[in-house]
């Protein structure tokens, strides 16, 4: 006999009737009747909508997504989180652009979505309230790290052109790890991969990421690691927040091995991406961006092979031409011809050398003879005889010059003496004149200069006469003046 399908209305002795009120009936033993899931969901919805109703809530928007024009996101603060949804008709009227991390105020009705058992706010209005806490932390840390030079291009380490060993830091068994390994196999399968398991989200994820980066960097040289990849799949802003911590940024900054990040999707940007030496849009792109493509390498090898073939052909053709030219050379066809040419050249050089040596010897002999002659003339005895001759000639010349000078001086002295005798005072006195001197020995030029009793001296040609003036005659006219001697009477 076939069993009948389960009917919830018949549960608990058929006391629950689907058409009846949702409130369960109680039996006399106060045992609540068992409810169906749909009934309980309906009860929760009616209770929320009737008891809470329309609310106005402020919080930080996160995990935003749009599906066919409808908006789905979460509203959270430091201690709680609630899901929100907004129908397309209400979203089209919204003035602000929804972005994870902004603070918003939503107005709507608290309801319960039965198919997923989720309590949510059905939003009718959304207003911008300012940047959220996570966004503020992100911006503040960005400003601080930019001021320290963490984002400067000059601080970036160049990525090797063909890294042969890569360390991938991500969660073991994750889709990001699988994408990276697939990308390596498809791009450059000979690359060695070292996978390092890390936590990529959670309370202690940032410390683990920083410690893994430091440990891998310290062992990079010994393990041959050329590039470190830090990758993670997509997620909400909260899921990726470990890569926005300062400890991760510091670890990347201190790392001397080039670091490439591929975190989240193309639209996700973390502080780790900004500090890293190279940022890729996705985990798989992080691999394909740094590994050379096999097709490109094959083309480059083929081009190099063609260049090498052309170079070798050109080299062989030039060598063949040199061989053919050498084969036509007379020196190779008849070796004696070349030897004869070299012998003749050697003989010419030897003759020129002997001739040059003879000429040089003759010049040296001539120079030596001239030097001997000059040396003989410069001998001390020869120079002494020459000096004696020159000294005797100079002495005679000096004597003649001295005698001439003395004779000339004697003549001039005699002439001057005669002139002095002719014009001197003695000659005048010889002609009968006298000279009167006063007591001080000065010539008396006027009688007015004399006084009574004054002693005067008269100089004659043959002696002197001293007189005393005892009378002064009266002054006379010039016509009556007497001879100068008349006043010398004492």
- pLDDT at residue number 25: 52
Determine how many CB atoms are found less than 10 A away from the CB of residue 16.
Answer: 19
Distances (CA, A) of 247 to 137, 144, 219: 14, 13, 20
What is d(CA 108, CA 196) in angstroms, rounded to the nearest whole number? 46
| In a domain? residue 369 | no
- pLDDT at residue number 231: 93
More confident residue, 462 or 178: 178
pTM attached to this predicted model: 0.43
Provide the pairing of β-strand 435-437 with 54-67.
unpaired
Pair (118, 39) in one structural domain: yes
Q: Please say if the pLDDT value at position 42 is more than 80.
A: yes
Stretch 2-26: mean pLDDT, rounded?
A: 46
- pLDDT at residue number 3: 47
| In a domain? residue 365 | no
Stretch 231-244: mean pLDDT, rounded?
A: 85
Q: Which domain holds residue 465?
A: 430-474+484-488
- pLDDT at residue number 237: 76
- pLDDT at residue number 11: 43
What is d(CA 299, CA 296) in angstroms, rounded to the nearest whole number? 5
- pLDDT at residue number 215: 94
Reported as a single tens digit per residue, the pLDDT across 325-343 is 877 776 666 666 667 777 7
Contacts of residue 398, Cβ cutoff 8 Å, sequence gap at least 6: none
More confident residue, 482 or 274: 274
Pair (284, 170) in one structural domain: yes
More confident residue, 95 or 272: 272
Stretch 385-413: mean pLDDT, rounded?
A: 81
**Which one-letter DSSP state was computed for residue 148?**
T
Pair (281, 299) in one structural domain: no
More confident residue, 38 or 2: 38
Q: Chain-wide mean pLDDT for the chain?
A: 80
Pair (98, 153) in one structural domain: no
Pair (39, 159) in one structural domain: no
Select from 17, 26, 23 the least CA-distant residue to 40: 23
| In a domain? residue 305 | yes
What is d(CA 168, CA 290) in angstroms, rounded to the nearest whole number? 13
For a pLDDT cut of 90, what percent of the chain falls above it? 21
| In a domain? residue 459 | yes
Select from 141, 165, 182, 156 the least CA-distant residue to 228: 165
| In a domain? residue 417 | no
Q: Please say if the pLDDT value at position 89 is more than 70.
A: yes
Provide the β-strand partners of residue 227: 166
Reported as a single tens digit per residue, the pLDDT across 94-128 is 767 788 888 888 999 888 888 888 888 999 988 87
Asked whether 12 and 34 are in contact (CB, 8 A), the reply is yes
Pair (230, 263) in one structural domain: yes
Pair (151, 246) in one structural domain: yes
Measured in residues, the chain has a length of: 490
- pLDDT at residue number 31: 67
Pair (13, 75) in one structural domain: yes
| In a domain? residue 185 | yes
Number of structural domains the chain divides into? 4
Least confident of 53-67, 135-149, 293-307, 454-468: 293-307
Pair (15, 124) in one structural domain: yes
CATH number of the domain residue 100 falls in: 2.40.50.140
Pair (107, 209) in one structural domain: no
Determine how many CB atoms are found less than 10 A away from the CB of residue 27.
Answer: 12
Q: Please say if the pLDDT value at position 424 is more than 90.
A: no
């Amino acid at each position: 006999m076939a069993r009948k399908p389960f009917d919830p209305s018949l549960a608990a002795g058929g006391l629950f009737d689907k058409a009846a009120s949702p409130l369960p009936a109680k039996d006399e033993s106060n045992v609540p009747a068992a409810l169906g899931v749909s009934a309980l969901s309906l009860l929760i919805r009616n209770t929320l909508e009737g008891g809470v109703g329309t609310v106005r809530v402020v919080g930080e928007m996160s995990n935003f997504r749009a599906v066919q024009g409808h908006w789905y996101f979460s509203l959270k603060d430091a201690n709680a989180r609630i899901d929100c949804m907004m129908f397309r008709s209400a979203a089209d009227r919204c003035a602000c652009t929804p972005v994870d991390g902004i603070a918003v105020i939503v107005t709507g009705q608290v309801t319960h979505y039965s198919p997923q058992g989720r309590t949510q706010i059905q939003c009718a209005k959304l207003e911008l309230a300012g940047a959220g806490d996570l966004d503020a932390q992100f911006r503040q840390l960005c400003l601080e790290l930019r001021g320290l030079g963490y984002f400067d291009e000059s601080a970036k380490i160049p990525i090797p052109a063909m890294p042969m060993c890569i360390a991938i830091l991500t969660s073991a068994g994750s889709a990001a790890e699988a994408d990276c390994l697939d990308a390596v196999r498809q791009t450059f399968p000979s690359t060695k991969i070292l996978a390092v398991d890390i936590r990529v989200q959670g309370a202690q994820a940032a410390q683990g990421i920083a410690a893994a980066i430091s440990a891998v960097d310290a062992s990079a040289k010994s393990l041959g690691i050329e590039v470190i990849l830090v990758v993670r799949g997509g997620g909400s802003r909260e899921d990726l927040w470990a890569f926005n911590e300062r400890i991760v940024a510091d670890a990347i900054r201190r790392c001397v091995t080039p670091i490439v990040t591929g975190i989240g999707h193309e639209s996700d940007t973390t502080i780790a991406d900004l500090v890293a030496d190279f940022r890729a849009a996705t985990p798989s792109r992080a691999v394909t961006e740094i590994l050379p493509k096999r097709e490109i390498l094959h083309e480059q090898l083929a081009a190099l092979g063609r260049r090498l073939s052309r170079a070798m052909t050109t080299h062989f053709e030039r060598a063949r031409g040199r061989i053919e030219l050498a084969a036509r050379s007379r020196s190779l066809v008849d070796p004696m011809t070349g030897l004869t040419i070299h012998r003749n050249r050697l003989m010419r050089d030897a003759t020129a050398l002997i001739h040059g040596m003879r000429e040089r010897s003759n010049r040296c002999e001539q120079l030596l003879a001239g030097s001997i002659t000059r040396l003989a003339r410069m001998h001390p005895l020869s120079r002494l005889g020459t000096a004696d001759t020159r000294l005797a000639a100079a002495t005679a010349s000096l004597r003649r010059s001295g005698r001439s000078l003395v004779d000339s001086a004697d003549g001039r002295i005699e002439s001057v003496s005669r002139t002095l005798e002719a014009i001197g005072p003695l000659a005048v006195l010889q002609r009968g004149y006298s000279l009167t001197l006063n007591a001080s020995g000065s010539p008396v030029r006027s009688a007015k200069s004399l006084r009574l009793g004054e002693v005067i001296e008269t100089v004659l040609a043959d002696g002197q006469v001293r007189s005393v003036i005892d009378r002064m005659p009266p002054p006379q006219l010039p016509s009556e003046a007497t001879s100068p001697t008349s006043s010398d009477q004492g």
